[in-house]
């Protein structure tokens, strides 16, 4: 694991422990990479509950409660699906904070309006705050997955109050 991912995970752990919080993850295109980063952090058992790897639409529905109507209307790579994934991870765990990632890491899978490197994120906190965001990352499959993992952790850290929030992203009701 690289130094940036190690740092982000350790800082999230400290922020969650200070607040008595617990994390859950819901991942698609990253295939559990964020959960792996977190569990590589010593002491994470005190602040990490579980990770859901929901690569297929059926798994998103079954494990996280993502609505078929949302998938049909927006596609798996969309902010509405990312939000339902994050909310589902929160609802199906003991977590107080959840994050989700769904995207097109490549090299194939692009569709009109959603090129390779398109990744949608969702975050949900037990206090009711949620946030979604779409980013476009360059590079090969591994680079997209790494950038996605770094980004979701950095935004979660901001939501936990450890760093200023990115003004580009938006909070949703």
Per residue in 107-149, pLDDT (tens digit) is 999 988 999 999 999 999 999 999 999 999 999 999 999 999 9
Integer-rounded Cα Rg, in Å, for the chain is 15
Distance CA 16, CA 126 (A): 12
Percent of the chain surpassing pLDDT 70 = 92
For every residue of 8-72, DSSP letters joined together read HHHHHHHHHHHHT--EEEEESTTTTHHHHHHHTSTTGGGTEEEEEE--SHHHHHHHH---HHHHH
**Within 10 A of 35 (CB to CB), how many other CB atoms are there?**
22
Residue 153 banded pLDDT, cuts 50, 70, 90: very high
Interval 82-108: pLDDT, tens: 999 999 999 999 999 999 999 999 999
**101 token code pair:** 């990632």
pTM, entire model: 0.92
């Amino acid at each position: 694991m690289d130094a940036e991912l190690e740092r982000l995970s350790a800082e999230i752990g400290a922020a969650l422990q200070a607040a008595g919080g617990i994390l859950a993850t819901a991942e698609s295109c990253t295939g559990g990479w964020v959960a792996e980063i977190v569990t590589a952090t010593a002491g994470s058992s005190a602040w990490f509950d579980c990770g859901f790897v929901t690569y297929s639409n059926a798994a998103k529905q079954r494990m996280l409660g993502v609505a078929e109507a949302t998938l049909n209307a927006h596609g798996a790579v969309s902010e509405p699906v990312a939000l339902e994934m994050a909310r589902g991870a929160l609802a199906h765990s003991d977590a107080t904070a959840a994050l989700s990632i769904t995207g097109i890491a490549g090299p194939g899978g692009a569709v009109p309006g959603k090129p390779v490197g398109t990744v949608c994120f969702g975050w949900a906190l037990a206090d009711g705050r949620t946030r979604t965001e779409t980013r476009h990352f360059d590079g090969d499959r591994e680079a997209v997955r790494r950038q996605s993992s770094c980004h979701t952790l950095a935004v979660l850290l901001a939501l936990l109050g450890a760093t200023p929030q990115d003004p580009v992203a938006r909070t949703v009701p």
